[in-house]
Structure 1
Amino acid sequence: MAKRIFAAGTIPWRIVTDEAGKSQLMVLLIHRTKQRDVSFPKGKLDPGESMPQAAVRETREETGLKVKLGVCLGTINYELPNGAEKIVQYWAAKVTPKKALASTFKPNGEIQALEWVLAKNARELLTYEADRELFDVFMRLTEPGLIDTFSVTLLRHAKAEPRSETFPVDHQRPLSPTGLHQAEMLAPILASFGPKRIYSSTADRCLSTVAPLAHLLGKGVRERVSLSQGFWDTGDLAETRKLIGKIVKRGKSVVVCSHRPVLPDLARELVLASGSLPGSYLDEATALPPAGFSVFHFSKKRPGAGILGVETYPLKHGAPQSTAPQHS
């Protein structure tokens, strides 16, 4: 069986205003030194690293830009000269003027130059057909104005201690040693998507799951009874629907930590709040193991356009199972 090499990257993009006051979409291309080609920033995963982490890290190392991940654009597969299969996952990544000015890039032995080009001119400059096909996916999102996105991450709590004489109250069950390790591992992966707020069920196992993420980001955790399993058991989803509606209306990336039975209803509320089409992808996105999560992407300007894509984790090597339900 051929060796498989996993890598990840981004298509960095920004909006600039020309002399006539017209907004122009630009994308960043990299000119690699040894290969003498033109491509997008990408690189191989470090040991134990996830795809999202690698995409953010490689973009920073190659371009000096600190980015957060937007919508997933898909995967490129190709065979290397040694017969190994290379699998590269890409995301769109918005670059604000402040971040562009903060770039620390200097030409080096790996990257000869960076080039911001008008998006309409970028395709013909790319060296490889696989990159051009990836760029076509990106451009299809720009045409209806959907490329500027935010995400709602539905997270199942990490592995908890079972209910027992030691832990008789379900709400107070703590994370197991495995769960504590999972929570630490989750933090940098979830941070790759740039969450602005963290919401959690009031159960101890949920609060402990997002604690490392909150510490990493320097943010507080917004505890909500409406995300708890006990509240869900009552069958009253009015407060839950109100919360999800506010999240979608606000248009900022968030993480929502809850319980396995609650997740399908949270996903359905996302569908209702965004005018999305329901489908089997919701079942796949919410049938999560402990510490599993799914990232739902929406347009900032047009949240009513529906769910643009879903990434489900964790899978082997941190590679997401990505789906793109049709939007209205």
Structure 2
Amino acid sequence: MSGRIRAAGAVVLRERNGSHEVLLVHRQAYDDWTLPKGKAIPDELRPATAVREVREETGVLIELGMRLKSIKYRVGKGSLKTVDYWRASPVAQYFHPPDREVDETRWVDVEEARTLLTYDDEFPLVAEALGLPATTPLLLVRHGKAMLRKHWSGNDQSRRLAGRGRRQAVELIPLLEAYGVSRLVSSPAVRCFETLEPYRDYKGLQTETIDLLTEEEGTRDPDGVVACVKRLAASLGQPTALCGHRPVLPAMHQGLGLKPRPMVVSEVTVIHRDRKGKNVGVEVHKPTA
């Protein structure tokens, strides 16, 4: 019986002397040159897979930009393999000795990539990545699963995450890291604060809080929320995660120039904004926890 295989990778670009170079890998088992990629592990979100696989195959730590097209093909006994790709930039490079899977990594210029890549469906991804603008991501996060109101005796703003919500918060660590999030903004409600807390502690960051984003304030003044989030997006200078509540999310969507839509607990919408502040790409990532 055939199954489905999910994998992810990246077109990693760097600038050298005014032109781009692309990161490729050589796999000795297949004697091919390809973009770095690999299979997802159970319950791993695909952006995290892309970052992990590039690091494991090349020693290069990356941050993701915009999503690219996916590639699908049959492997083995007819299993359908889907590989999701992102445009990415290197942020660090560590020594990676040759191993049984990848025996050589190489930065090449675009024309050499065109010649060297073994598979015809991979160079179009390089061309797609080169045609995309530089962007800064803003990640809109709905807080994780909270304890039920009927089981909470304190005031609602102090209501905490349930066990599932705490697991979801931990799951956010590799997702936020994949986009290089370095600024955290949240409602001061405990369930929002706790959703970002594991990533905050992992990265040694501070969480900025905005009272207007609480459920109580935000539902009373949705226009104020729209204006507040617009200002935040307009001043976006670094990858940012913004955490809020279900009743306030429609106004937050509007402030980000998006059509309001439902989000499940701990769901993340990634908005890619270009240097002019225009939304040029949107992704949605739902939790597995």
TM-score normalized with structure 1 length: 0.82
1:165 offset after TM fit, Å? 6.6
Q: Report the secondary structure of 2:106's partner residue.
A: strand
Alignment match, 1:105? 96
User: Would you say how many aligned residue pairs link Structure 1 and Structure 2?
Assistant: 289
Contact 2:138 2:239 in 1 (8 A): yes
Q: CA deviation at 1:240?
A: 5.2
Rounded to whole Å, the distance in 2 between the matches of 1:202 and 1:308 is 30
Match in the other structure for 2:39: 44
Supply the AA of the counterpart residue of 1:290. V
CA contact (8 A) 1:26 1:118 kept: yes
Q: Give the Cα separation in 1 of the matches to 2:166 and 2:205.
A: 19
- Pair 1:310-2:282 in alignment: yes
Aligned equivalents of 1:196, 1:240: Cα separation in 2: 23
From 70, 86, 90, the equivalent of 1:75 is 70
Q: Distance in 2 between matches of 1:209 and 1:227?
A: 15
RMSD of aligned Cα (Å):
2.1
Shift of 1:295: 0.7
Measure the CA separation in 2 of the matches of 1:120 and 1:108.
27
Amino acid at match of 1:193: Y
Q: Does 1:295 align with 2:270?
A: yes
User: Once the 2 structures are TM-superposed, how far is the Cα of residue 112 of structure 1 from its aligned partner?
Assistant: 2.2
Partner of 2:16: 16
Q: Which one-letter code corresponds to 1:35 in the other structure? A: Y
2:223 matched to 1:237? yes
Q: Which residue of 2 aligns with 1:134?
A: 125
Q: Which of the pair is proportionally richer in strand?
A: 2
What displacement does 1:9 show? 0.8
Classify the secondary structure of the residue corresponding to 2:273. Answer: strand
**1:251 match: secondary structure:** coil
Give per-residue Cα distances to partners, 1:63-120, cap 9 Å, x unaligned.
1011121111131111113211101111111125xx2xx3312222211222212224
1:167 aligns with 153
Aligned to 1:325: none
CA contact (8 A) 2:26 2:103 kept: yes
Q: 83, 89, 93: which is aligned to 1:94?
A: 89
Q: Residues 31 and 39 of structure 1 are in contact (CA less than 8 Å); yes or no, is this contact kept in structure 2?
A: yes
Is the CA contact 1:249–1:303 (under 8 Å) kept in the aligned structure 2?
no
**1:7 corresponds to which residue?**
7
- 1:185-205 CA deviation, whole Å, 9 max, x = no partner? 222222221101011101111
Alignment partner of 1:185 is 2:171: yes
SS at 1:70 equivalent: strand
Instruction: Work out whether residues 228 and 255 of structure 2, in 8 Å CA contact, stay in contact via their aligned partners in 1.
Output: no
Matches for 1:195-214 after TM superposition, within 5 Å: 195-214=181-200
**What SS does the corresponding residue of 1:257 show, helix, strand or coil?**
strand
The answer as to whether partners of 2:225 and 2:251 remain within 8 angstroms in 1 is no
Is the counterpart of residue 224 in structure 1 residue 196 in structure 2?
Answer: no
Partner AA of 2:182 in structure 1: K
- Tell me, in whole angstroms, the C-alpha distance in 1 between the residues paired with 2:202 and 2:226: 27
- Measure how far apart 1:294 and its partner are: 0.7
Distance change (3 Å), C-alpha of 1:315 and 1:134: farther
Cα offsets for 1:8-66 (capped at 9, x unmatched): 1111111112xxxxx11111111111111111111111223221211111101111011
Task: State how far apart, in whole Å, the 2-side matches of 1:79 and 1:239 are.
Answer: 47
- Report the Cα distance in structure 2 between the residues aligned to 1:245 and 1:123, rounded to whole angstroms: 42
Q: Please, which runs of 5 or more residues in structure 1 have no aligned partner?
A: 18-22, 272-277, 319-328
Check conservation: 2:51, 2:178, Cα contact below 8 A.
Answer: yes
1:121 deviation in Å? 4.1
Q: Secondary structure at the match of 2:131?
A: helix
- Aligned counterpart, 2:57: 62
On the 8 A contact 1:50/1:189 being kept in 2, the answer is yes
> Separation in 2 of the partners of 1:85 and 1:48?
19
Tell me: CA distance 1:40–1:310, structure 2 relative to 1, closer, same or farther (3 Å). same
> Counterpart of 1:207 in structure 2: which amino acid?
F
